[in-house]
Amino acid sequence: MFEFSFGVDDLATTWITYSPLQEAVFTLRARRRPAAYPHYRRWTESWADGYRALDTALLDALVTPRVWVPDFLTPRPAVRRPSFESELAVLAATPPAVAAADFLAAYRGDGAPLPPVVAELLDDPAELPARCARVLAAYWERCLLPQWWPRARAVLEADLAHRGRMFAERGAEGLFADLAPELSWRDGVLRLDDPDPRVRALGGRCTRVAGRGLVLIPALCGGRAHTVISPDGPPAISYPARGQALLGERPPLRVPDALAELIGPPRARLLVLLDQPASTTALAHRLDVTPGAVSRHLSALAAAGLLTRTRSGRSVLYARSALGNALVEGGS
């Protein structure tokens, strides 16, 4: 059990924010254990090609087999709503000895051997923080920033709004009770009781908030509340964000700008979407518009020779024609 002891003024310095860097690192958990994070499956599949072009040996090693993460990879946010770049700068400035110790602590707690890439870096850890920062920056730019982060940020913002209401309406007890089953609040002490025996073995300490402020951080790739492995850092707790399942929705369509300019955004979205045959009703549901609106655009695209139509029972299925495929590929 981990305990956080609050003084008279400590609740006033407790705040909630999300961390883009933590979210980026935690998405690697979904790659490590896809069955545990089904709401990420579509996303990780959509990143597959971009991910393979990166330093996958090191990226895979940033999360242990039991999905433990070295503490320095997820520094406590210093401001509300920090940028990914500012957090990455903090990571890159980590003293090499601290980064090495955090890697060792994570893999020792997990009970797994160090991957060869990590063992090699630990022989001379001077470049360890900088190399981790570089590979995470490339991962962010190639895989996460274009489509995933806007969706993830919207879910996290909704969580912050909900927690603020809970704190205003029910106070500290209501806020902490609603975060996660592992958290409980009584007599000025917040307790975190993790069911994992390996994590419990690290507990048994009481951290005094002592004016440093406790930061609560929602996580979209976390199954339960947890705190840092090292007891020396300022207090922070990550908890499962509300609305994680919203990420399981199909990622937004990527519509080439040139195609949208040529035939208009609505028809461009339909043409991109129709890499597989679909009915008017299914397309309307996917795009959250009326079937009538979809039907008009489909008729225009078919008349231009960009779609084919085939009947399947009582439904008409539309798909891109060879000309439609050429137009989409040419606009990418």
Confidence label for 3 from pLDDT (cuts 50, 70 and 90):
confident
Interval 181-196: pLDDT, tens = 888 888 888 888 877 7
Looking at the fold, whether 65 and 137 belong to one and the same domain comes out as: yes
Looking at the fold, whether 190 and 267 belong to one and the same domain comes out as: no
**pLDDT attached to residue 233:** 67
| Residue 89 belongs to domain spanning | 2-247
Strands 183-186 vs 226-227: parallel, antiparallel or unpaired = unpaired
Q: Which DSSP letter does residue 204 get? A: -
Rounded-to-integer distance, Cα 93 and Cα 80, Å: 20
Please say which residue of 247, 274, 307 terminates a domain: 247
Looking at the fold, whether 229 and 292 belong to one and the same domain comes out as: no
Domain at 278, CATH number = 1.10.10.10
Report the pLDDT averaged over residues 162-169.
85
Interval 307-331: pLDDT, tens = 999 886 667 889 899 999 999 887 6
Does some domain include residue 252? no
**pLDDT attached to residue 227:** 83
**pLDDT attached to residue 170:** 84
Looking at the fold, whether 165 and 62 belong to one and the same domain comes out as: yes
In sequence order, the 6+-apart residues with CB closer than 8 A to the CB of 143 are 47, 50, 51, 54
Please say which residue of 183, 217, 247 terminates a domain: 247
Region of poorest pLDDT, from 161-170, 240-249, 269-278? 240-249
Confidence label for 4 from pLDDT (cuts 50, 70 and 90):
confident
Looking at the fold, whether 103 and 57 belong to one and the same domain comes out as: yes
Confidence label for 287 from pLDDT (cuts 50, 70 and 90):
confident
Confidence label for 301 from pLDDT (cuts 50, 70 and 90):
very high
Looking at the fold, whether 71 and 186 belong to one and the same domain comes out as: yes
Looking at the fold, whether 284 and 154 belong to one and the same domain comes out as: no
Structure token digits, residue 266: 């609505």
Say if residue 276's pLDDT is above 80: no
Rounded-to-integer distance, Cα 100 and Cα 33, Å: 24
Say how many domains are in the chain. 2
Looking at the fold, whether 41 and 83 belong to one and the same domain comes out as: yes
Per the prediction, the chain carries an average pLDDT of: 87
Please say which residue of 247, 279, 300 terminates a domain: 247
Report the pLDDT averaged over residues 117-135.
95
Does some domain include residue 149? yes
Residue with the two structure tokens 């400590």 = 10
User: How would you classify residue 213: left for phi > 0, otherwise alpha for psi between -120 and 50, otherwise beta?
Assistant: left
Region of poorest pLDDT, from 87-101, 111-125, 171-185? 171-185
Report the pLDDT averaged over residues 67-94.
94
Interval 247-269: pLDDT, tens = 776 656 678 888 888 999 889 98
Say if residue 26's pLDDT is above 90: yes
Rounded-to-integer distance, Cα 110 and Cα 104, Å: 10
Report the pLDDT averaged over residues 140-147.
91
Residues 107 and 113: beta-carbon distance below 8 Å: yes
Q: What does pTM read for this prediction?
A: 0.72
Say if residue 239's pLDDT is above 70: yes
